[in-house]
Amino acid sequence: MDKLAIQGGQSLRGEIRISGAKNAALPILCAALLSADTLHLDNLPKLRDISTTLTLLGHIGCQISLDERGGIDLCSAQLARLEAPYHLVKTMRASILVLGPILTRYGEARVSLPGGCAIGSRPVDLHIKGLQAMGADIQIEHGYILARANRLQGARIVMENVTVTGTENLMMAATLAQGVTVLENAAREPEVVDLARCLVSMGARIQGVGTDTIVIEGVERLHGAQHTILPDRIETGTYLVAAAMTQGDIVLTHSSTDTLDVVLDKLREAGAQIHCAGDRIALRMDVRPQAVNLRTAPYPAFPTDMQAQFMAMNCIASGVGRITETIFENRFMHVQEMQRLGARIEIEGNTALVRGVERLQGATVMATDLRASASLVLAALVAEGETVIERIYHIDRGYECIEEKFNQLGAKVRRVH
């Protein structure tokens, strides 16, 4: 299994390009199942979760071809199997996103229930309840969701929790339903908005995206389209925090500056100087970071996917920072590993109190989930000596060419096979 060996102590300097957003690309790839025509996508990140999704779409019968510029054509003219098998779903929960599209287009779908997940119990009950409200008959048998519906019917669905993939699944299902669907308490994440833009370019009728009430008027069919995936705000935020922690001076290109307001505010509070112009973000940090307090919540509040990275920054900041996680239980798995590097963190319920130390010390640590792994890379960049991060397959799920990008900024990161 691959490891990363990181020699700490370098200030990050230079310029890198931000990739397309994983969490927008995953539902948009699944949207290709909604039409018999070709969906062309650009700016798809090269990640393991993307190749898992392409394997899943190929299994279902979607024809996939890459063009010389890195774009991809997906054609779901005829589907061979209306199912997502366990061995693919268990490696990536987002596989559940094929449920809505297959069911609404073909009237039946068989999708494995996702297994346990490292960051707390992440049920899919709201996906199921929403589809049932649209008239689907859903049974759970042998670990699979079996869904049937002659044609889904528009409905008013009030979601108990804000769920990102739940909103996306139901929005896709509603595009081909009969009548109007209203999703209340819908997720407002930029990735949901990007999916809606793609669906609209395929002929869907959707209003209210980016607000908590999305209205979808079902149509008979969707057609082919071209769509460019929006930049990854979490990848952007991760490199910005890395630069702030190492007192660096970096520029990120091909990013988006309007989806990161709270993250940029928190970095400024920590002492960073940030300048945004077009799709470029520059960050310079001349001082030791100041600890920040934060609380995760659905967009536009502070993203749970940036919590672990800010925890890493607080570990070496001056002062005490309080971090409260409200989205996922058990999303403090990085804490034990950071403590191995010398961090001073106390956990009480869903709050972590982090007392900044002058320096961390390199050690062998283990990556546990995607963002936790990223936070260990950040901690390693400022730790004295070498840190070895094991089980980095988690990082490859969500960060394109992570060692190349960090090395381009002057870090010393080596992949050990």
Closer to ligand UD1 by CB, 24 or 75: give it.
Answer: 24
In angstroms, what is the minimal distance from the CB of 192 to ligand UD1? Answer: 9
Report the candidate in 50, 179, 29, 41 with the shortest Cα–Cα distance to residue 104: 179
Tell me how crowded residue 70 is: count the other CB atoms within 10 A of its CB. 12
Closer to ligand UD1 by CB, 235 or 305: give it.
Answer: 305
Burial of 287 (0-12, 13-18, 19+ CB in 10 A): exposed
Q: Is 97 helix (H, G, I), strand (E, B) or coil?
A: helix
Can you read off the two tokens belonging to residue 360?
């961390």
Rounded distance between C-alpha atoms, residue 317 and residue 358, angstroms: 8
Annotated catalytic residue within 30, 62, 75, 117: 117
In angstroms, what is the minimal distance from the CB of 173 to ligand UD1? Answer: 14
Give residues with Cβ within 8 angstroms of 258, minimum separation 6.
none
β-strand pairing of 280-284 with 249-253: antiparallel
Tell me how far apart the terminal alpha carbons of the chain are, to the nearest angstrom: 6
In angstroms, what is the minimal distance from the CB of 123 to ligand UD1? Answer: 4
In angstroms, what is the minimal distance from the CB of 90 to ligand UD1? Answer: 14
Please indicate whether residue 276 is annotated as part of the active site.
no
CA 376 to chain centre: 18
Closer to ligand UD1 by CB, 165 or 387: give it.
Answer: 165
Closer to ligand UD1 by CB, 157 or 382: give it.
Answer: 157
Report the candidate in 246, 316, 235, 240 with the shortest Cα–Cα distance to residue 6: 246
Count CA within 13 A, CB hemisphere, residue 365. 32
In angstroms, what is the minimal distance from the CB of 125 to ligand UD1? Answer: 5
Closer to ligand UD1 by CB, 121 or 139: give it.
Answer: 121
**Binding residues for ligand UD1 (CB under 6 A):** 23, 26, 93-94, 122-127, 161, 163-166, 191, 304-305, 327-328
Q: Which residues are catalytic?
A: 117
